[in-house]
Structure 1
Protein backbone atom coordinates (compact mmCIF):
# COMPACT_ATOMS: atom_id res chain seq x y z
CA UNK A 1 0.00 0.00 0.00
CA UNK A 2 1.35 3.40 -1.03
CA UNK A 3 2.36 5.67 1.85
CA UNK A 4 -0.09 8.54 2.32
CA UNK A 5 1.40 12.03 2.58
CA UNK A 6 -1.80 14.09 2.14
CA UNK A 7 -5.44 13.68 3.14
CA UNK A 8 -8.00 15.50 0.98
CA UNK A 9 -11.45 15.78 2.58
CA UNK A 10 -14.82 16.43 1.06
CA UNK A 11 -16.94 18.55 3.42
CA UNK A 12 -20.70 17.99 2.97
CA UNK A 13 -21.63 14.50 4.12
CA UNK A 14 -18.15 13.85 5.50
CA UNK A 15 -17.41 16.69 7.93
CA UNK A 16 -20.58 18.78 7.63
CA UNK A 17 -24.14 17.56 8.21
CA UNK A 18 -25.79 19.48 5.38
CA UNK A 19 -29.25 18.39 4.31
CA UNK A 20 -32.07 20.62 3.00
CA UNK A 21 -34.47 18.45 4.99
CA UNK A 22 -33.18 20.05 8.17
CA UNK A 23 -34.87 23.23 6.91
CA UNK A 24 -37.81 21.89 4.94
CA UNK A 25 -39.16 19.67 7.71
CA UNK A 26 -40.00 22.99 9.38
CA UNK A 27 -41.78 24.25 6.26
CA UNK A 28 -43.71 21.17 5.11
CA UNK A 29 -46.03 19.24 7.42
CA UNK A 30 -46.39 16.52 4.78
CA UNK A 31 -43.22 14.46 4.25
CA UNK A 32 -44.30 13.28 0.81
CA UNK A 33 -44.82 16.85 -0.36
CA UNK A 34 -41.41 17.83 1.04
CA UNK A 35 -39.76 15.00 -0.87
CA UNK A 36 -41.61 16.03 -4.04
CA UNK A 37 -40.36 19.60 -3.59
CA UNK A 38 -36.76 18.44 -3.06
CA UNK A 39 -36.83 16.06 -6.03
CA UNK A 40 -38.79 18.15 -8.54
CA UNK A 41 -38.57 21.84 -7.60
CA UNK A 42 -35.37 22.62 -5.67
CA UNK A 43 -33.87 19.35 -6.86
CA UNK A 44 -30.30 18.02 -6.54
CA UNK A 45 -29.20 19.02 -10.04
CA UNK A 46 -30.51 22.57 -9.47
CA UNK A 47 -28.44 22.73 -6.30
CA UNK A 48 -25.44 21.28 -8.14
CA UNK A 49 -25.64 24.08 -10.72
CA UNK A 50 -25.25 26.58 -7.88
CA UNK A 51 -22.25 24.60 -6.60
CA UNK A 52 -20.42 25.22 -9.85
CA UNK A 53 -21.69 28.80 -10.23
CA UNK A 54 -23.74 27.97 -13.32
CA UNK A 55 -26.69 29.45 -11.43
CA UNK A 56 -26.86 32.40 -9.03
CA UNK A 57 -29.65 33.00 -6.52
CA UNK A 58 -30.44 36.40 -8.00
CA UNK A 59 -31.88 34.71 -11.10
CA UNK A 60 -32.44 31.08 -10.08
CA UNK A 61 -34.85 31.82 -7.23
CA UNK A 62 -37.20 34.05 -9.29
CA UNK A 63 -37.08 31.57 -12.20
CA UNK A 64 -38.16 28.68 -9.99
CA UNK A 65 -40.83 30.83 -8.35
CA UNK A 66 -42.20 31.62 -11.82
CA UNK A 67 -42.22 27.90 -12.74
CA UNK A 68 -43.71 26.83 -9.40
CA UNK A 69 -45.72 29.73 -7.97
CA UNK A 70 -47.44 27.43 -5.49
CA UNK A 71 -44.06 27.04 -3.76
CA UNK A 72 -43.04 30.71 -3.89
CA UNK A 73 -42.13 31.01 -0.20
CA UNK A 74 -40.53 27.58 0.06
CA UNK A 75 -38.26 28.38 -2.88
CA UNK A 76 -37.29 31.72 -1.31
CA UNK A 77 -36.34 29.85 1.86
CA UNK A 78 -33.59 28.01 -0.03
CA UNK A 79 -31.72 31.30 -0.13
CA UNK A 80 -33.13 33.20 2.85
CA UNK A 81 -32.95 30.35 5.38
CA UNK A 82 -30.07 28.38 3.87
CA UNK A 83 -28.04 28.20 7.15
CA UNK A 84 -30.86 26.11 8.64
CA UNK A 85 -29.79 23.30 6.29
CA UNK A 86 -26.62 22.96 8.38
CA UNK A 87 -27.21 20.76 11.42
CA UNK A 88 -23.58 21.06 12.49
CA UNK A 89 -20.43 19.05 12.05
CA UNK A 90 -20.18 15.26 11.84
CA UNK A 91 -18.50 14.94 15.21
CA UNK A 92 -16.62 11.70 14.65
CA UNK A 93 -14.98 12.97 11.47
CA UNK A 94 -14.21 16.34 13.00
CA UNK A 95 -12.35 14.53 15.80
CA UNK A 96 -10.38 12.54 13.23
CA UNK A 97 -9.42 15.75 11.45
CA UNK A 98 -8.24 17.28 14.71
CA UNK A 99 -6.22 14.14 15.53
CA UNK A 100 -4.53 14.33 12.15
CA UNK A 101 -3.79 18.00 12.72
CA UNK A 102 -2.24 17.30 16.12
CA UNK A 103 -0.21 14.37 14.78
CA UNK A 104 1.09 16.61 11.97
CA UNK A 105 2.44 13.82 9.76
CA UNK A 106 0.24 14.45 6.70
CA UNK A 107 -0.88 17.57 4.85
CA UNK A 108 -4.59 18.37 5.15
CA UNK A 109 -6.75 19.90 2.41
CA UNK A 110 -10.42 20.05 1.44
CA UNK A 111 -12.17 19.87 -1.92
CA UNK A 112 -15.86 20.73 -1.73
CA UNK A 113 -18.82 21.22 -4.02
CA UNK A 114 -20.27 24.34 -2.43
CA UNK A 115 -21.88 27.50 -3.80
CA UNK A 116 -19.69 30.57 -3.46
CA UNK A 117 -22.82 32.42 -2.31
CA UNK A 118 -23.33 30.20 0.74
CA UNK A 119 -19.67 29.43 1.48
CA UNK A 120 -19.38 32.39 3.90
CA UNK A 121 -21.92 30.65 6.16
CA UNK A 122 -19.58 27.66 6.42
CA UNK A 123 -16.58 29.82 7.21
CA UNK A 124 -18.57 31.52 9.97
CA UNK A 125 -19.97 28.32 11.49
CA UNK A 126 -17.17 25.74 11.35
CA UNK A 127 -14.00 26.56 13.27
CA UNK A 128 -12.44 23.23 12.22
CA UNK A 129 -11.92 24.62 8.70
CA UNK A 130 -8.82 26.38 10.05
CA UNK A 131 -7.16 22.94 10.28
CA UNK A 132 -6.81 22.79 6.50
CA UNK A 133 -3.75 24.07 4.71
CA UNK A 134 -6.01 24.94 1.80
CA UNK A 135 -9.64 24.54 0.66
CA UNK A 136 -10.80 24.47 -2.95
CA UNK A 137 -14.46 25.52 -3.33
CA UNK A 138 -16.26 24.55 -6.53
CA UNK A 139 -18.38 27.69 -6.71
CA UNK A 140 -15.29 29.88 -6.59
CA UNK A 141 -13.68 27.94 -9.45
CA UNK A 142 -16.80 27.35 -11.59
CA UNK A 143 -15.94 23.66 -11.68
CA UNK A 144 -17.46 20.86 -9.60
CA UNK A 145 -16.78 17.24 -8.79
CA UNK A 146 -16.76 14.80 -10.50
CA UNK A 147 -15.32 16.90 -13.35
CA UNK A 148 -11.72 15.68 -13.68
CA UNK A 149 -10.56 19.27 -14.16
CA UNK A 150 -11.32 20.15 -10.54
CA UNK A 151 -9.15 17.28 -9.33
CA UNK A 152 -6.35 18.42 -11.64
CA UNK A 153 -6.76 21.99 -10.39
CA UNK A 154 -6.62 20.86 -6.76
CA UNK A 155 -3.47 18.81 -7.32
CA UNK A 156 -1.75 21.64 -9.20
CA UNK A 157 -2.73 24.41 -6.83
CA UNK A 158 -1.71 22.59 -3.67
CA UNK A 159 1.19 20.56 -5.09
CA UNK A 160 -0.40 17.17 -4.47
CA UNK A 161 0.76 13.83 -5.82
CA UNK A 162 -2.43 11.79 -6.38
CA UNK A 163 -0.61 8.52 -5.63
CA UNK A 164 0.20 9.71 -2.10
CA UNK A 165 -3.07 11.61 -1.54
CA UNK A 166 -6.05 9.95 0.14
CA UNK A 167 -9.31 11.49 -1.10
CA UNK A 168 -12.34 11.05 1.18
CA UNK A 169 -15.84 11.63 -0.21
CA UNK A 170 -19.37 10.30 0.36
CA UNK A 171 -20.22 10.35 -3.38
CA UNK A 172 -19.46 7.19 -5.33
CA UNK A 173 -19.18 9.15 -8.60
CA UNK A 174 -16.56 11.45 -7.09
CA UNK A 175 -14.64 8.51 -5.66
CA UNK A 176 -14.66 6.69 -9.00
CA UNK A 177 -13.33 9.75 -10.82
CA UNK A 178 -10.59 10.36 -8.27
CA UNK A 179 -9.56 6.70 -8.39
CA UNK A 180 -9.34 6.85 -12.20
CA UNK A 181 -6.97 9.79 -11.80
CA UNK A 182 -4.66 7.86 -9.52
CA UNK A 183 -5.77 9.07 -6.09
CA UNK A 184 -6.02 6.73 -3.15
CA UNK A 185 -9.67 6.88 -2.07
CA UNK A 186 -12.02 6.23 0.82
CA UNK A 187 -15.74 6.10 0.07
CA UNK A 188 -17.07 7.63 3.27
CA UNK A 189 -19.91 5.94 5.13
CA UNK A 190 -19.19 6.74 8.76
CA UNK A 191 -16.32 7.93 10.97
CA UNK A 192 -15.74 4.47 12.43
CA UNK A 193 -14.86 2.94 9.05
CA UNK A 194 -12.81 5.99 8.15
CA UNK A 195 -10.78 5.67 11.36
CA UNK A 196 -10.14 2.00 10.58
CA UNK A 197 -8.93 2.85 7.06
CA UNK A 198 -6.70 5.68 8.26
CA UNK A 199 -5.20 3.37 10.88
CA UNK A 200 -4.57 0.56 8.40
CA UNK A 201 -2.87 3.01 6.06
CA UNK A 202 -0.62 4.19 8.88
CA UNK A 203 -2.01 7.71 8.80
CA UNK A 204 -3.36 7.53 12.36
Structure 2
Protein backbone atom coordinates (compact mmCIF):
# COMPACT_ATOMS: atom_id res chain seq x y z
CA UNK A 1 0.00 0.00 0.00
CA UNK A 2 1.21 3.49 -0.86
CA UNK A 3 0.57 6.03 1.89
CA UNK A 4 3.30 8.59 1.12
CA UNK A 5 4.87 10.01 -2.04
CA UNK A 6 8.51 11.14 -2.04
CA UNK A 7 10.01 12.98 -5.00
CA UNK A 8 13.43 13.69 -6.37
CA UNK A 9 13.61 17.21 -7.79
CA UNK A 10 15.74 17.46 -10.94
CA UNK A 11 14.45 15.34 -13.82
CA UNK A 12 11.24 14.53 -11.95
CA UNK A 13 9.66 17.85 -10.97
CA UNK A 14 12.23 20.32 -12.29
CA UNK A 15 13.40 20.21 -15.91
CA UNK A 16 17.20 20.34 -16.06
CA UNK A 17 19.93 20.71 -18.68
CA UNK A 18 23.50 19.96 -17.66
CA UNK A 19 24.91 21.30 -20.94
CA UNK A 20 23.47 24.77 -20.29
CA UNK A 21 25.43 24.90 -17.04
CA UNK A 22 28.62 23.59 -18.63
CA UNK A 23 28.47 26.25 -21.34
CA UNK A 24 27.77 29.00 -18.80
CA UNK A 25 30.88 28.12 -16.78
CA UNK A 26 32.94 27.77 -19.96
CA UNK A 27 31.96 31.35 -20.82
CA UNK A 28 33.44 32.38 -17.48
CA UNK A 29 36.69 30.71 -18.52
CA UNK A 30 36.45 27.46 -16.55
CA UNK A 31 38.12 24.95 -18.84
CA UNK A 32 37.56 21.74 -16.85
CA UNK A 33 33.92 22.22 -15.85
CA UNK A 34 32.85 19.16 -17.85
CA UNK A 35 34.79 16.89 -15.47
CA UNK A 36 32.97 18.25 -12.41
CA UNK A 37 29.34 18.20 -13.49
CA UNK A 38 27.43 14.98 -14.07
CA UNK A 39 23.77 14.46 -14.85
CA UNK A 40 23.22 12.37 -11.72
CA UNK A 41 26.18 13.38 -9.55
CA UNK A 42 28.92 15.97 -9.15
CA UNK A 43 32.62 15.98 -8.28
CA UNK A 44 35.10 18.24 -6.52
CA UNK A 45 33.72 21.41 -4.92
CA UNK A 46 30.36 20.85 -6.61
CA UNK A 47 29.98 17.54 -4.75
CA UNK A 48 31.35 19.02 -1.52
CA UNK A 49 28.69 21.73 -1.69
CA UNK A 50 25.93 19.16 -2.24
CA UNK A 51 27.21 17.08 0.66
CA UNK A 52 27.26 20.07 3.00
CA UNK A 53 31.02 19.81 3.48
CA UNK A 54 31.64 23.39 2.35
CA UNK A 55 29.53 26.55 2.47
CA UNK A 56 28.34 28.53 -0.54
CA UNK A 57 31.08 31.11 0.05
CA UNK A 58 33.74 28.41 0.31
CA UNK A 59 32.44 26.86 -2.91
CA UNK A 60 32.68 30.18 -4.74
CA UNK A 61 36.22 30.67 -3.47
CA UNK A 62 37.23 27.25 -4.82
CA UNK A 63 35.67 27.93 -8.22
CA UNK A 64 37.39 31.32 -8.47
CA UNK A 65 40.73 29.52 -8.28
CA UNK A 66 39.81 27.83 -11.58
CA UNK A 67 38.77 31.02 -13.39
CA UNK A 68 41.07 33.34 -15.33
CA UNK A 69 39.44 36.48 -13.93
CA UNK A 70 37.36 37.51 -10.95
CA UNK A 71 33.58 37.13 -11.22
CA UNK A 72 30.97 38.27 -8.73
CA UNK A 73 28.87 35.94 -6.60
CA UNK A 74 25.84 36.89 -8.67
CA UNK A 75 27.47 36.01 -11.99
CA UNK A 76 28.77 32.69 -10.67
CA UNK A 77 25.42 31.77 -9.14
CA UNK A 78 23.66 32.62 -12.39
CA UNK A 79 25.99 30.27 -14.27
CA UNK A 80 25.33 27.49 -11.75
CA UNK A 81 21.57 28.01 -11.99
CA UNK A 82 21.72 27.40 -15.74
CA UNK A 83 21.47 23.72 -14.79
CA UNK A 84 17.81 24.36 -13.96
CA UNK A 85 15.30 25.00 -16.74
CA UNK A 86 12.10 25.36 -14.73
CA UNK A 87 8.91 23.67 -13.55
CA UNK A 88 5.82 23.65 -15.78
CA UNK A 89 2.79 25.02 -13.95
CA UNK A 90 0.91 21.87 -14.94
CA UNK A 91 3.40 19.85 -12.88
CA UNK A 92 2.94 22.11 -9.87
CA UNK A 93 -0.79 21.60 -10.16
CA UNK A 94 -0.29 17.84 -10.30
CA UNK A 95 1.58 18.10 -7.01
CA UNK A 96 -1.22 20.22 -5.59
CA UNK A 97 -3.80 17.66 -6.64
CA UNK A 98 -1.82 14.73 -5.22
CA UNK A 99 -1.30 16.63 -1.97
CA UNK A 100 -5.04 16.43 -1.34
CA UNK A 101 -4.75 12.65 -1.11
CA UNK A 102 -1.19 11.91 0.08
CA UNK A 103 1.51 13.41 2.26
CA UNK A 104 4.20 14.62 -0.17
CA UNK A 105 7.93 14.80 0.52
CA UNK A 106 11.00 15.88 -1.44
CA UNK A 107 14.42 14.20 -1.28
CA UNK A 108 17.01 15.91 -3.45
CA UNK A 109 20.73 16.03 -4.11
CA UNK A 110 21.04 19.79 -4.42
CA UNK A 111 22.85 22.78 -2.97
CA UNK A 112 21.99 25.95 -1.04
CA UNK A 113 22.82 28.27 -3.95
CA UNK A 114 20.19 26.73 -6.22
CA UNK A 115 17.74 26.03 -3.41
CA UNK A 116 17.66 29.64 -2.23
CA UNK A 117 17.42 31.18 -5.69
CA UNK A 118 16.20 29.44 -8.86
CA UNK A 119 14.47 26.51 -7.14
CA UNK A 120 12.63 28.81 -4.75
CA UNK A 121 11.56 31.06 -7.63
CA UNK A 122 10.37 28.20 -9.85
CA UNK A 123 8.10 26.81 -7.15
CA UNK A 124 6.42 30.22 -6.89
CA UNK A 125 5.25 30.13 -10.52
CA UNK A 126 1.66 29.31 -9.55
CA UNK A 127 1.39 31.66 -6.59
CA UNK A 128 2.66 29.36 -3.82
CA UNK A 129 6.02 28.61 -2.25
CA UNK A 130 7.75 25.24 -2.05
CA UNK A 131 6.39 24.45 1.41
CA UNK A 132 2.84 24.60 0.06
CA UNK A 133 3.48 21.46 -1.95
CA UNK A 134 5.42 19.33 0.53
CA UNK A 135 4.97 18.11 4.08
CA UNK A 136 8.73 17.83 4.40
CA UNK A 137 11.94 18.42 2.45
CA UNK A 138 15.37 16.83 2.81
CA UNK A 139 18.35 18.09 0.85
CA UNK A 140 21.71 16.39 0.55
CA UNK A 141 23.53 19.33 2.13
CA UNK A 142 21.23 19.12 5.16
CA UNK A 143 21.62 15.33 5.49
CA UNK A 144 25.39 15.53 4.78
CA UNK A 145 24.89 12.69 2.34
CA UNK A 146 23.93 12.22 -1.31
CA UNK A 147 21.74 9.64 -2.97
CA UNK A 148 22.22 6.74 -3.53
CA UNK A 149 23.85 6.48 -0.07
CA UNK A 150 21.72 4.83 2.58
CA UNK A 151 22.37 7.61 5.07
CA UNK A 152 20.22 10.19 3.27
CA UNK A 153 17.30 7.78 2.83
CA UNK A 154 17.38 6.80 6.50
CA UNK A 155 17.66 10.47 7.47
CA UNK A 156 14.55 11.26 5.41
CA UNK A 157 12.54 8.42 6.96
CA UNK A 158 13.42 9.63 10.47
CA UNK A 159 12.78 13.30 9.76
CA UNK A 160 9.47 12.68 7.99
CA UNK A 161 8.35 9.94 10.38
CA UNK A 162 7.44 7.64 7.50
CA UNK A 163 7.61 3.91 6.90
CA UNK A 164 9.75 3.32 3.77
CA UNK A 165 7.60 0.32 2.88
CA UNK A 166 4.55 2.58 2.63
CA UNK A 167 6.39 5.27 0.65
CA UNK A 168 6.68 5.48 -3.14
CA UNK A 169 9.84 7.27 -4.28
CA UNK A 170 10.23 8.87 -7.73
CA UNK A 171 13.69 9.47 -9.23
CA UNK A 172 15.22 9.83 -12.68
CA UNK A 173 18.34 7.83 -11.73
CA UNK A 174 18.20 4.05 -11.97
CA UNK A 175 20.93 3.79 -9.33
CA UNK A 176 18.87 5.85 -6.88
CA UNK A 177 15.72 3.84 -7.57
CA UNK A 178 17.53 0.54 -7.03
CA UNK A 179 19.12 1.87 -3.85
CA UNK A 180 15.76 3.03 -2.49
CA UNK A 181 14.25 -0.41 -3.10
CA UNK A 182 17.18 -2.07 -1.33
CA UNK A 183 16.52 0.21 1.68
CA UNK A 184 12.89 -0.88 1.87
CA UNK A 185 11.14 1.83 -0.17
CA UNK A 186 8.83 1.35 -3.10
CA UNK A 187 10.39 3.22 -6.02
CA UNK A 188 9.87 3.98 -9.70
CA UNK A 189 12.04 5.64 -12.31
CA UNK A 190 10.94 8.70 -14.27
CA UNK A 191 12.38 8.50 -17.77
CA UNK A 192 12.86 11.49 -20.10
CA UNK A 193 9.50 12.67 -21.38
CA UNK A 194 7.50 10.92 -18.65
CA UNK A 195 5.32 12.72 -16.11
CA UNK A 196 5.27 11.49 -12.53
CA UNK A 197 1.46 11.63 -12.40
CA UNK A 198 1.18 9.17 -15.30
CA UNK A 199 3.83 6.90 -13.81
CA UNK A 200 2.00 6.97 -10.47
CA UNK A 201 -1.33 6.10 -12.08
CA UNK A 202 0.27 3.16 -13.91
CA UNK A 203 1.99 1.97 -10.73
CA UNK A 204 -1.19 2.07 -8.68
CA UNK A 205 -3.24 0.35 -11.39
CA UNK A 206 -1.01 -2.73 -11.09
CA UNK A 207 -2.25 -3.21 -7.53
CA UNK A 208 -5.91 -3.17 -8.50
Q: TM-score w.r.t. structure 2 length?
A: 0.76
Task: Please say which of residues 136-145 and 16-25 is displaced more in the overlay.
Answer: 16-25
Q: Find the aligned partners of 2:81 and 2:67 in 1 and give their Cα distance.
A: 23
1:13 aligns with 2:11: yes
Q: What are the ranges of 5 or more consecutive residues in structure 2 without an aligned counterpart?
A: none
Question: How many correspondences in the alignment?
Answer: 194
User: Structure 1 residue 202: deviation in Å?
Assistant: 3.1
Provide the residue aligned with 1:182 in structure 2.
184
Whole-angstrom CA distance in 1 between matches of 2:111 and 2:25: 23
* Higher mean displacement: 14-23 or 147-156: 14-23
Aligned to 1:38: 33
Q: Closer, same or farther in 2 for the Cα pair 1:186/1:94, shift >3 Å?
A: farther
Kindly indicate whether residue 109 of structure 2 is the aligned counterpart of residue 113 of structure 1.
yes
For 2:73 and 2:22, locate their aligned partners in 1 and report how far apart those are by CA, in whole Å: 10
For residue 52 of structure 2, give the secondary structure of its aligned residue in structure 1: coil
Deviations 1:118-169 (A, max 9, x none): 3211224313622111111221232221221111111111111111111001
Specify which of 120, 126, 151 is matched with residue 123 of structure 1. 120
Contact 1:4-1:201 at 8 Å conserved across structures: no
The answer for the alignment partner of 1:58 in structure 2 is: 57
Note if 1:201 corresponds to 2:198.
Answer: no
SS of 1:201's partner is: helix
d(CA) in 2 for partners of 1:124, 1:162: 30
Closer, same or farther in 2 for the Cα pair 1:87/1:149, shift >3 Å? same
Gaps of at least 5 residues in structure 1 are none
Cα distance change on mapping 1:200 and 1:79 into 2, 3 Å = closer
Cα distance change on mapping 1:69 and 1:38 into 2, 3 Å: closer
Choose between structure 1 and 2: higher helix proportion. 1
- Give the 3 Å change call, closer, same or farther, for CA 167–71 of structure 1 in structure 2: farther
* Deviation string, structure 1 residues 53-94 (Cα, Å, up to 9, x no partner): 12333233333433x343765998433544444321155643
Shift of the 41–82 alpha-carbon distance from structure 1 to 2, 3 Å rule, reads closer
TM-score by length of 1: 0.77
With CA pairs under 8 Å and 6+ residues apart, which has the higher RCO, 1 or 2? 1
Partner of 1:86: 84
